[in-house]
Amino acid sequence: MSHEIIGVSEKPELKKWIPLSFQHVFAMFGATVLVPMLTGLSPSVALFTSGFGTLIYILITQGKVPTYLGSSFAFIVPLISISGMYGVEYAMGASFCVGIFYVIISMIIRQFGVKWLDDLLPPVVIGSVIMVIGLKLAPTAMNMAMYPWADSANGYSLTHALIAVVTLGIAIVSTIVLKGFFTVIPILIAIIGGYLFTLIMGMFFPAFALIDFTVIKEASWFGLPSFAIPKFGLVPIITFLLVSLATIAEHLGDTMVVSKVVGKEFYKDPGIHRTLAGDGVATAFAALFGGPPNTTYGENIGVMAITRVYSVWVIGGAAIIALLLSLIQKVGAVIQTIPTPVMGGISMMLFGIIASAGIRTVVESGVDYSCKRNLTITSVILVIGIGGGMIFVPVSETLNFELGGVALATLVGILLNLILPQMNYDTQEEE
């Protein structure tokens, strides 16, 4: 690991450049391929759109911001729900619209600044929505960890549960005990550890024989991702756009963190409008190939903080490596052989971390829950989002408008924030 500081515009010599770029690939790999595996998309395509999207981002930000773009966890819930209700092509259409929406918001920010966005989406709303995103996924994690059958009424599998617990244990130990660079790749370490545990146990116990290498043998070595044809529907688009409000706020926060780590004011140069536009164009591009929406990756920010290597050339090198890996179809085939309970074990911690990030948002922002206004907003968002609240409006005999879950919770949170007066009800009562 290097201890010298390598600046944003500095190009390391090749013998350092390649291994430094591989570090970023390792950091983003586990989380980036986890999203498509949970949502039914192609991991190889996710790698392709992640790498290409990062290069797009670097181009739009004029090579001034060393940020890697990977698969966004915030869209797991809408990707699963919209794909199930309407088809994956409608989810991709909605994702494409999210990218365009990012660009539109970036233009507004360039013209009017970001204060209006902060007023529309204060920490009490954003933090609560992030909590919903993580907690809404909790049943998905437990189903993958314990139930090998579609119907959980058939009972849990002790084998699946054991694999999930071992994987979870590796993830926890990796997160807490390991030092240095290894602290930013606990997901990758846990996936590899859970995979090897299942493979070794499968050699001795038939119940653990969950890995089938047939798909690897049948896969060709090289191939290009196929172009997807998105379809557009009103409900999918609205659902994705509402969730994207939270990810836009997340983008602003990540950019601020990168600025602090690197020691440069990226909000001003190249400007937050450019970083958001880069994120948006990359997300729209991903949708055209059937990849999940992109987002700035905290894992890779962590790598920069640890190594003090801020070079955009290193980030670009990681993007190119991801592109090359995506074209090796046997890599995608290996990913497909990862047992479901391994992913379940990872998800048990990962989805909780997402929810915890929401808690961290409200805590670090100083949200005062002795104020009944804040308490009311968070309470309503949590119950509607986790409880499965739904708005159903029949538009015609063949068309219904349905809005629920995270999207509805976000909309209600925004409306409550706008409607409820800015005052402390507890203070008013005391007076």
pTM of the model: 0.79
Contact 57, 214 (CB under 8 A): no
Higher-scoring residue by pLDDT: 23, 341: 341
The single-letter DSSP state of residue 179 is -
- Encode burial over 254-281: b for 16+ CB neighbours within 10 A, e otherwise: bbeebbebbebebeeebbbbbbbbbbbb
Side chain identity, residue 418:
L
What average pLDDT does range 304-325 have in this prediction? 88
With beta carbons less than 8 A apart as the criterion, state whether 92 and 292 touch. no
The pLDDT, as a whole number, for residue 243 is 87
Query: What pLDDT does residue 154 have?
Result: 62
Q: Higher-confidence residue: 358 or 283?
A: 283
**Once rounded to an integer, what is the mean pLDDT over residues 62-78?**
89
Question: Taking the CA of residue 311 as centre, how many other CA atoms within 13 Å lie in the half-sphere pointing to its CB?
Answer: 24
**Contact yes or no for 207/159 (Cβ under 8 A):** yes
What distance in Å separates the CA atoms of residue 307 and residue 323, rounded to the nearest whole number? 23
**How crowded is residue 205: how many other Cβ atoms within 10 Å of its Cβ?**
10
Give burial (CB, 10 Å; 0-12/13-18/19+) of 192.
Answer: middle
For residue 95, give every residue at least 6 positions away whose Cβ sits within 8 Å of its Cβ, in sequence order, or none.
Answer: 75, 79, 230, 240, 283, 284, 286, 287, 292, 293
**pLDDT for residue 217:** 84
- For the ranges 56-65, 213-222, 316-325, which has the lowest average pLDDT? 213-222
The label of the residue with tokens 């409306």 reads: 415
As a whole number, mean pLDDT of residues 155-174 equals 87
Confidence of residue 108 (pLDDT cuts 50, 70, 90): very high
Q: Which of 137-141, 229-233, 248-252, 303-307 has the highest mean pLDDT?
A: 229-233
Q: Which uninterrupted H or E stretch holds 116?
A: helix 115-120
Contacts 24+ apart (CB under 8 A), 57-62: 57/275, 57/278, 57/279, 57/281, 57/282, 58/278, 58/312, 58/315, 58/316, 58/319, 59/278, 60/274, 60/277, 60/278, 60/281, 61/270, 61/274, 61/275, 61/278, 62/270, 62/274
Residue 274: per-residue pLDDT = 94
In 2-111, beta strands by DSSP E: 69-71
What backbone torsions phi and psi does residue 404 show, to the nearest 5 degrees? -155, -175
Residues in the chain: 431
CA separation (Å) from 381 to 193, 243, 318, 328, 360?
A: 37, 13, 38, 43, 17
Residues 6+ apart with CB under 8 A from 366: none
Please state the φ and ψ torsions of residue 226, each to the nearest 5 degrees: -85, 150
User: Which amino acid belongs to residue 326?
Assistant: S
Residue 237: how many other CB atoms lie within 10 Å: 19
Mention every residue, 6+ apart, whose C-beta is less than 8 A from residue 422.
Answer: 373
Write down the pLDDT at residue 103: 96
Tens digit of pLDDT for each residue in 43-57?
889 999 999 999 999
Distant-in-sequence, close-in-space partners of 166: CB < 8 Å, separation ≥ 6: 193, 194, 197, 345
**Per-chain mean pLDDT for the chain:** 84
Q: Where are the domains of the chain?
A: 14-367
- How confident is the model over 13-22, as pLDDT tens digits? 888 888 888 8
pLDDT at residue 367 tops 70: yes
Cα–Cα distance, 29 to 249 (Å, whole number): 24
DSSP 193-255: HHHHHHHHHHTT-GGG----THHHHHS-SB-PPPPP-----HHHHHHHHHHHHHHHHHHHHHH
Query: For residue 235, what are the contacts with CB-CB under 8 A and spacing of at least 6?
Result: 82, 86, 401, 402, 403
